[in-house]
Amino acid sequence: MAIDLSKNVRLCVDSGKAELGSKKAFKLLLGGEAKLLILSGNCPEEAARDLRHAAKLANVNVADFSGTSLELGVACGKPFPVSAFTVLEAGDSELGLLY
């Protein structure tokens, strides 16, 4: 079953708990609070590598958003680019299926 990340990211923002940004994502992964990490298609290579490594250490799944950071920002309802989206609680979204 394929999950529409754009739709579910927005649902998670509206009904769940999530944080935006690669620096915040790194802290949440190391702190054990993250349940899922979503990276934009154009997340800077070094940041993506570090985040993937932290996610592996924290045993957190990583989902790849096919669009750019600007498109991920729009999916979040924000007027700015978002390279990393960290799910803390899925809310009404189907992102919980990806944990």
Domain parsing of the chain, residue ranges: 5-98
| Nearest Cα to Cα of residue 28 among 2, 58, 5 | 58
Ramachandran angles phi, psi of 83, nearest 5°: -85, -30
The tokens for 74 are 């729009």
- Partnered with residue 55 across adjacent β-strands are none
Query: What pLDDT does 20 receive?
Result: 98
* pLDDT at residue 48 in the model: 98
pTM, rounded to two decimals: 0.95
Give the helix/strand (H/E) hosting 39.
strand 36-39
For residue 79, CA distances in Å to 3, 39, 93 come to: 24, 17, 21
Weakly modelled stretches of the chain, pLDDT under 70: 1
Q: Which CATH architecture has domain 5-98?
A: 2-Layer Sandwich (3.30)
